[in-house]
Amino acid sequence: MKWLNVVIKYRLWIGIVLLALAIFTNVQAGFWPSFVLYLIAVVLIVGHFVFGPMRLIQDCMETGDMEGAKKVLDSIWFPALLIKPIRSVYYTVKGNLDMADQDFAGAEKNLKISQELMGDGTGLMGGQMKQAEGANKLQLGMLAMQKGDMKQAETYIRGAIRTGLPDKENEAAAYLQLSSIMINKREFRAGKDYFKKAKGLKPTTPQIADQIKQMEKYISRMPG
């Protein structure tokens, strides 16, 4: 809905204009004629700071418009005012953008902040929050692998699988990473088992499918 995106993008300024109009109406005709204008203005202004333009960020991420996503993030002046679930998404997106820019230190910092904000994942959004928490742990595990910290990577990735992941592509990626970790530890039987789980999920993401093809060439020759 394009009209909704326009409202979200400009609701702060629309709210300010309506607030000014409400004050003018209040002075000229009294409070009650201006009440509706006050109400709409407050809803728009508070909504801007409490909910943020996260819908716009989602649209940018889905279309691969990273620059657009950065601009939307930069429009959030006070992230501490966002409600907790939205704030968690904010830091997750920042972490993802940092990873795209190869800023792994920044990505780790922001993903950890997001992880802390997720809490226990209970309530109305509990299932979605749990899946987001699992995806965050998976990303932190991959970052730990890039740093060569296999022990921490294994902890994060196992935690991601226990918490739950949003789709089979993420599950396959998690099992592939665990397979690599087990092979690195020379626990070849476990490495093969995790590889079979990843392959059994039949992922379609080109990068993951290619990793499976590459691993399949030599994993059958491993002992265990």
Could you tell me where the DSSP H helices lie in 64-187? 66-74, 84-100, 104-118, 126-146, 150-163, 168-184
Burial of 48 (0-12, 13-18, 19+ CB in 10 A): buried
The answer to whether the beta carbons of residues 194 and 179 sit under 8 Å apart is yes
The pLDDT of residue 125: 47
Which stretch of DSSP H or E encloses residue 216?
Answer: helix 206-219
Comparing CA positions, the residue from 171, 90, 85 lying closest to residue 135 is: 171
The pLDDT of residue 123: 44
* Dihedral (Cα; 154, 157, 163, 168), 10-degree rounding: -140
Q: What is the pTM of this model?
A: 0.79
The pLDDT of residue 189: 92
With a cut of 70, list the residues of the chain below it in pLDDT: 1, 119-129, 224
The pLDDT of residue 122: 44
The answer to whether the beta carbons of residues 145 and 153 sit under 8 Å apart is yes
